[in-house]
């Protein structure tokens, strides 16, 4: 079973990739999308989104990271992919799922799901532009307005030369609203010979097991669920390997997570702009509180704080807190 970390622009960046791959259980990450319009992007754009390129395309914990490109023009995607390839990414993933208006207006992301022929041209152009040994994969939604073309889109990706397809089991119209339609994924799987990986709305071990069953996919991609519960990949592995029911349900207890929260804050302060820092910590705690009552308490305390020094003192004191014990 392969478990991948989802690309999530503005959320699962190199800081959180570092922290989550330290916790363990993930086989590979995908960078947030790098948008290709007309121009040739300078190396610094690739390196900013994916600093792991300076580390052999791996997180410090050693987990490979694939770079994701988003765009609709085959020539410009090919030229940028060729430049990116020189920086040595583990592979290149192509985004056919982004629902953002500004991206779709220019024909990129999920908008391409209305035009399988153009998908095939984009994938083929990128495939031809990078070394044969470098994997080129794709990530799609079920469709734009509906799932009518999902098989054709997956086939276009395969024809273009994609070696693997992640299916986020919702249309662009569905946005991020539950449910995810895992039960439609078998129809995509049957349409192509390349491996298909299921994604969407996997928050717990039970979700993961049901998703594997309904989609028929052994491999999963985890998004918001693993940000909310960093032990999720480890817990899924334990469950799939047949641990006692309930074992590994919460693979990482709060006290073990505290050093990761501290590392996260340290990295955020070192690497991100001052105006982003407090917001990033609040954003993570906001998701963590879905799974950890202690994170709810922490989030409420932090909510109104903005001063970096105050937050640094607060983060440093997290481990010694008595209030956590009863929770």
The residues that are catalytic are 98
Q: Which of 216, 225, 221 is nearest to 186 (CA)?
A: 216
Interface map 63-82 toward ligand FMN (x if CB under 6 A): -----x--------------
Site for ligand FMN in 9-28 (CB under 6 A): 9-11
Site for ligand FMN in 192-231 (CB under 6 A): 199-202, 222-225
- Whether the Cβ atoms of residue 226 and residue 29 lie closer than 8 Å to each other: no
- In angstroms, give the least distance from the CB of 70 to ligand FMN: 7
- The smaller minimum CB distance to ligand FMN, of residues 226 and 257, is found at 226
Of 32, 52, 115, 174, which lies in the binding site for ligand FMN, with binding defined by CB under 6 A? 32
- The smaller minimum CB distance to ligand FMN, of residues 251 and 318, is found at 251
- The smaller minimum CB distance to ligand FMN, of residues 272 and 297, is found at 272
- In sequence order, the β-bridge partners of residue 165 are 138, 196
Query: Is position 174 an interface residue for ligand FMN (rule: CB under 6 A)?
Result: no
- Within 10 angstroms of residue 260's Cβ, the number of other Cβ atoms is 18
Interface map 134-153 toward ligand FMN (x if CB under 6 A): -----x--------------
- In angstroms, give the least distance from the CB of 78 to ligand FMN: 19
DSSP 86-119: HT--S-EEEEE----HHHHHTT-GGGGGG-HHHH
Q: Which of 213, 114, 224, 228 is nearest to 177 (CA)?
A: 224
Dist CA 12 CA 236 (whole Å) = 20
- The smaller minimum CB distance to ligand FMN, of residues 114 and 312, is found at 114
Interface map 277-316 toward ligand FMN (x if CB under 6 A): ----------------------------------------
- The smaller minimum CB distance to ligand FMN, of residues 68 and 215, is found at 68
- The smaller minimum CB distance to ligand FMN, of residues 168 and 212, is found at 168
- In angstroms, give the least distance from the CB of 209 to ligand FMN: 15
- Within 10 angstroms of residue 273's Cβ, the number of other Cβ atoms is 7
Looking up tokens 């990530």 gives 139
**Angle subtended at Cα 210 by Cα 23 and Cα 227, rounded to the nearest 5 degrees:** 30
Of 168, 237, 277, 280, which lies in the binding site for ligand FMN, with binding defined by CB under 6 A? 168
Give the CA-trace dihedral at 47, 48, 49, 54, to 10 degrees: 30
Interface map 89-128 toward ligand FMN (x if CB under 6 A): ------x-xx------------------------------
Greatest CA separation for the chain: 60
Helix (H) or strand (E) holding 266: helix 254-271
Helix (H) or strand (E) holding 3: strand 3-5
- In angstroms, give the least distance from the CB of 115 to ligand FMN: 18
- Whether the Cβ atoms of residue 14 and residue 50 lie closer than 8 Å to each other: yes
Give the residues lining the site for ligand FMN (CB under 6 A): 6-11, 32-33, 68, 95, 97-98, 139, 168, 176, 199-202, 222-225
């Amino acid at each position: 079973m392969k478990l991948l970390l989802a690309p999530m622009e503005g959320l699962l960046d190199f800081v959180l990739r570092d922290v989550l791959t330290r916790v363990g259980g993930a086989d590979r990450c995908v960078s947030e999308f790098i948008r290709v319009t007309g121009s040739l992007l300078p190396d610094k754009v690739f390196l900013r989104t994916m600093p792991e390129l300076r580390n052999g395309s791996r997180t410090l914990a050693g987990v490979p990271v694939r770079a994701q490109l988003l765009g609709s023009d085959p020539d410009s995607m090919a030229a940028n992919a060729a430049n990116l390839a020189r920086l040595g990414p583990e592979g290149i993933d192509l985004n056919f799922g982004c629902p953002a208006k500004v991206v779709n207006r220019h024909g990129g992301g999920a908008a391409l799901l209305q035009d399988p022929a153009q998908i095939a041209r984009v994938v083929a152009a990128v495939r031809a532009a990078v070394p044969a040994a470098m994997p080129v994969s794709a990530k799609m939604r079920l469709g734009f307005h509906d799932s009518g073309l999902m098989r054709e889109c997956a086939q276009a990706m395969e024809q273009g030369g994609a070696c693997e397809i992640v299916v986020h089991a919702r249309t662009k119209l569905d946005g991020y609203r539950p449910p995810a339609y895992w039960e439609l994924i078998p129809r995509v799987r049957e349409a192509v010979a390349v491996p298909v990986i299921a994604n969407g709305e996997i928050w717990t071990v039970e979700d993961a097991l049901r998703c594997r069953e309904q989609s028929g996919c052994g491999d999963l991609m985890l998004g918001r669920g693993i940000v909310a519960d960093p032990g999720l990949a480890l817990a899924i592995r334990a469950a799939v390997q047949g641990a006692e029911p309930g074992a590994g349900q919460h693979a990482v207890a709060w006290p073990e997570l505290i050093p990761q929260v501290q590392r996260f804050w340290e990295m955020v302060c070192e690497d991100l702009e001052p105006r982003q820092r407090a917001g990033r910590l609040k954003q993570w705690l906001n998701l963590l509180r879905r799974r950890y009552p202690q994170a709810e308490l922490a989030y409420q305390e932090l909510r109104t704080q903005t001063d970096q020094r105050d937050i640094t003192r607060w983060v440093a004191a997290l481990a010694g807190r008595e209030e956590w014990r009863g929770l």
